Structure formats: structure tokens, C-alpha cells
Chain A
């Protein structure tokens, strides 16, 4: 494995970012950092998408993976960025509304449905 900047390398980096995000979501109780970890997971997925789109452009033109619009993967990444921005805006405003009511961002202290 002499070349590192390959589809495999990009996928490993993306898996690393995703799993660090999983750790943050599971191990942290500060909701701001949990939201940030979700962003980290989204970024790992975006990286995998761009890597696959770039990889499909290196395949011979007659393979099935190379068919279709060549920039499709990149367009999908742009859409996912827009959706992530909307998600962050809604999530943070929920967080602000929650903080106004409960004076905390600790996820374990928000147990209104627990009875």
C-alpha cells in the first residue's frame, strides 16, 4: 500500500471522522457538543461522497458506475450541506428554547417524558 491518497485512504479518513462523531454523540452530555458531533458525522459522510464521485471519474467510461451525470455526487454533497445548515439552525434554536426553560444543556437532566 504505497499510495495513500486513494479511495481507500479517503474512506478510512471518513470512517474515522464518522466514528469520532459517534463517540461524541454517545459519550457527551453537553447538547451543544452532541450537535457538533452530529456535524462531524455528516462531514465524514460528505467526504466519502466526494471521494466516490472522484473515484467514479477515474473509471473507464463504459463501466456502470461511470454512467450518469459525472457531477451527481458533488451535487448531492452540496444538497447535504444545505440540509445540514437547516438542521443546525433548527437544532440550535431548539437548544436555546430548552435553555430558557430548564437553564441547562445537560442531556441527562432533560427527562420530562420519564414520568
Chain B
């Protein structure tokens, strides 16, 4: 086994272990942290698959933006233990495990089927692979770029795939508008008023006790923050 195989084996075990811990923890904040481990390990696999740009995007977008969003929502809801949802009954968990194993078998057995010799070739980057690419548009004399080079990636996304790229940006814009509408407070208040019941205690606002402690914290730190300047 080459060095890449050993590294891949180790980080695969880390990824699967962290993923299994992430879906079995009761407290969602532990789930989010184990999930972050899995995403960072997948970023390492992207790097090993000679896709450095995607590895960076995985760290920035998934382990950065998306998981921070998850952590933010977990903190915002600040669930009490009785609000976290009770553990699923054992039959449901057994059923889920059986279905998951079935899905794994369905996906993995075709992958390890012998008879496709190219699929068993190592993907560790050999040295003599750089000349596979046609010259990117605009680079003139056909400079060879390696697989996964960010320059070639940029040429592809802004050349051949510029229309899907713009469509994705429109989708993200629509998502931003949808989030603004969904998370607006007035909407929920109106619905509660229609319901007639007062089921809308402000769980997301700072309670009076917290506000008092924050205010006292602010006043106590104010002199020290002005100290060096005076």
C-alpha cells in the first residue's frame, strides 16, 4: 500500500466514525461538531482527488457557512432537553438501520464488482498526467494545465457553464428572499392572532434577566475599554 492508501484508509475511518456519531448524538450541538469533522475530512479527500478548489470550497461553504448556520440556529432555539425530541422507538431505529444497510449494499456492491479494471487503478496523482487537457480558451498556445487546476476550472465555469452558473445565482437570490419572508416575525404574530391563542412567548428574544445582565456587563466593561485611550 502506498502512502496515499494509508492516508485514505485512516481518514475514511475518521469520516465514517464521525458521521455515525453525528447522527446518533442526542444533543444537536455535538452532532454539528461531529458533522464538521466529517465535512473537513471530505475536504481532505477532495484535495487528495486533486481538486484543490473544491476542497477550499468545501471548507468555506460546508464546514464554514452551512455548519455555522446550523450551530447558529441550534444556539438560537436553545432547546431544553425535553424539547429536543424523544429518542425514536427501537423498532423504528432497527428499521432505519436495515434500510441504511440495504442502501449501502445497493450502492457499494456494484462499485466493487470486478471486471472494470480501470476502477481499481489508484487515483493518487501520478506525475505524467498533466497533458491530458486541451488548451483552455484564452490561454493561447495551449499551455497544459493539470487536472483540477483552478485556472482551468474558472475557464470552464465562466465559459461553457456560464448559463447554469447564472441560474444558480438566481436560485440563491430566491432562497435569500424566501428566508427573509419565512423568518420574519410579523408573519408568525398574525397567524397566532388568527388562532386566537397566545402561543407566542418570545423564545428568540433576549429575556429580561439576560438583558439586565448584558447591560450590567456593558457598563462594567465600559471604563476599562476607555481606560487606555484616556
Chain A interface (Cβ within 8 Å of chain B)? Answer: 1-24, 26-33, 35-37, 39-40, 43, 46-47, 50-51, 53-55, 57-59, 61, 66, 69-72, 74-75, 77-79, 81-90, 92-97, 99-101, 103-109
Count residues of chain B with CB under 8 A from any CB of chain A.
101
Q: A100-B188, A100-B203 are in contact. Are A79 and B168 (CB under 8 A)?
A: yes
Residues of A within 8 A of B203 (CB): 99-100, 103
Smallest CB gap from B6: residue in A: A4
CB-contacts of B163-205 with A (<8 A): 164-165, 168, 171-172, 174-176, 178-179, 182-183, 187-188, 191-192, 199-200, 203-204
Known: A18-B103, A97-B182. 15 other contacts (CB 8 A): A6-B120, A11-B108, A28-B23, A28-B88, A33-B31, A39-B35, A54-B49, A54-B123, A74-B54, A74-B148, A75-B156, A84-B66, A96-B183, A101-B199, A103-B83
Give the complex CA separation of A104 and B178 in angstroms: 22
Q: A6-B123, A81-B57 are in contact. Are A19 and B118 (CB under 8 A)?
A: no
Question: Would you call B22 and A90 a contact (CB within 8 A)?
Answer: no
| Main SS class of interface, A | helix
Residues of A within 8 A of B143 (CB): none
Residues of B within 8 A of A1 (CB): 120
Smallest CB gap from B189: residue in A: A100
Give the complex CA separation of A77 and B76 in angstroms: 30
Question: Would you call A101 and B182 a contact (CB within 8 A)?
Answer: no
- Shortest beta-carbon distance, B152 to chain A, in Å? 6
Question: Would you call A81 and B86 a contact (CB within 8 A)?
Answer: no
